[in-house]
Amino acid sequence: MDVVEFSISFLITLLMFLFGGIFLHRSLKNQRMAFTLTISLFFGMLAALAETLRVSLEVSFDKTIFLFFSLLLWCFMYLTALIFFQQLNSDRINYLIFSLALVFLVNHFIFGLFYLRNIEDFILNNIIIILWDFFYDALGAFTFIFGAYVHFKIYKKTKEKPGLLLGIALSSISFGFIWAFFGDLVSTLKSVFGGFEGFFGPNGLFYDYLMIGDIFKILGIIIFVLYYIMNINYIFRLPYAIDSVMVFNRIGLFIYAAVYSEIKNEELEKIPVELITGALNAFSTFMSETTGSRQPLEKIVTGDKQVIVKTSKLISVAVVTEKSTFFLNLSMKRLIANLENQYRTHLLKNYTDSSYYSDISNFIYDAFPYLGLPFAEQE
């Protein structure tokens, strides 16, 4: 057993379990659950454990099996992380992006099965190894390049340093995958054709740099996970401005509304919120009557703005924003649950006087922790 390799694998496993446990604890404590990110960390913990077991084994075939399952578990970690990044940016999965990631995953799995067969043809076996590595690294690089794009987009909107920091961390991870594939490719070609000793041999010019990709990946993951552990609310830092939040009772009467104008919009501020809520209620009633649908209104799209509506048995919440995202909908559901729990008696009696709902703004800021913070881009 290689003591150094085992020590590194064990340290990575320890960090994954530590980060995963702390993140889950913080998520539950602050009620900021990001299920896909939590599942992604869980796959990472299993993958790191499988890798540690592989390094500690003495039997070659068992090592191959554990390597296969370890890489496959890492792939599932990347796939669920990709879903999380899409949830930050949209309210539904982009199937083109997800399908491309699945292509990488399926091909990695297929070539992994060929690798397990230990094909006797030396050249063919090494080609399989190269393709197995390629699809693994391609999935990792693709996932974290997309994640970096989303966080740079948040930074462009907010000009807040965390978005830039996380974007750089994710870029570091994707660079690590590209560099790692380069190192694996050279190593495989060296075993097939020989040579490269002057560059990649034990005393070669670039030998010490072939593993640098792993350093970039580890550092990037540590920075990314640590920041979300320390600031769990940042999951709900929406990349789109929220202009207004409105609350109605079960019969559609106005309870509360406020204009936040994260992006300055003087014309919107001049419109009485009662007029906005009345128009929304009237349009919802009109659509129900004309279409015969009993389903509540969920979205109105006009120009570059959307009105997102969530409805329960006692209350409805509407948000005026640029675009709906998964975590925006999660915040709205959290707000509805908290308001129903706090004001159930008043809501059942259809009270609309604002004095009955004096603390409602506290619940809104709890559901939307970054509400009202200025966006950098002014329109």
Domain boundaries, the chain: 3-236, 242-367
* Contact criterion met (CB below 8 Å) for 307 and 242: no
Angle at 364 between CA 336 and CA 284, to 5 degrees: 50
- Report the CATH fold assignment for 242-367: Beta-Lactamase (3.30.450)
Return the higher-pLDDT residue of 224 and 351: 224
Return the higher-pLDDT residue of 275 and 95: 95
Q: What percent of the chain has pLDDT over 90?
A: 29
Mean pLDDT, the chain, integer: 81
Question: Can you tell me the distance from the alpha carbon of 317 to that of 310, in angstroms, rounded to the nearest whole number?
Answer: 5
pLDDT for 281: 63
pLDDT for 175: 95
Closest residue by Cα to residue 258 from 277, 239, 241, 285: 277
Question: Can you tell me the distance from the alpha carbon of 287 to that of 170, in angstroms, rounded to the nearest whole number?
Answer: 44
pLDDT for 237: 79
- Eight-class DSSP state of 349: T
Q: What percent of the chain has pLDDT over 70?
A: 79
- Confidence tier at 17 by pLDDT (50, 70, 90): very high
pLDDT exceeds 50 at position 70: yes
- Confidence tier at 337 by pLDDT (50, 70, 90): very high
Least confident of 97-106, 287-296, 343-352: 287-296
Residues pairing with 301 in the sheet: 306
Helices (H), the chain: 3-30, 35-56, 60-89, 95-116, 122-158, 161-193, 197-200, 212-230, 266-270, 273-291, 326-348, 360-367
CATH of domain 3-236: 1.20.1070
Q: 168: buried, middle or exposed (CB in 10 Å: 19+, 13-18, 0-12)?
A: middle
pLDDT in tens, 281-311: 666 666 556 666 556 667 777 777 888 888 8
What does the block give as tokens for 25?
Answer: 């604890």
Return the higher-pLDDT residue of 154 and 191: 154
pLDDT exceeds 90 at position 79: yes
Least confident of 33-47, 61-75, 93-107, 258-272: 258-272
Of how many residues is the chain composed? 379
pTM exceeds 0.85 = no
pLDDT for 77: 96
pLDDT for 132: 92
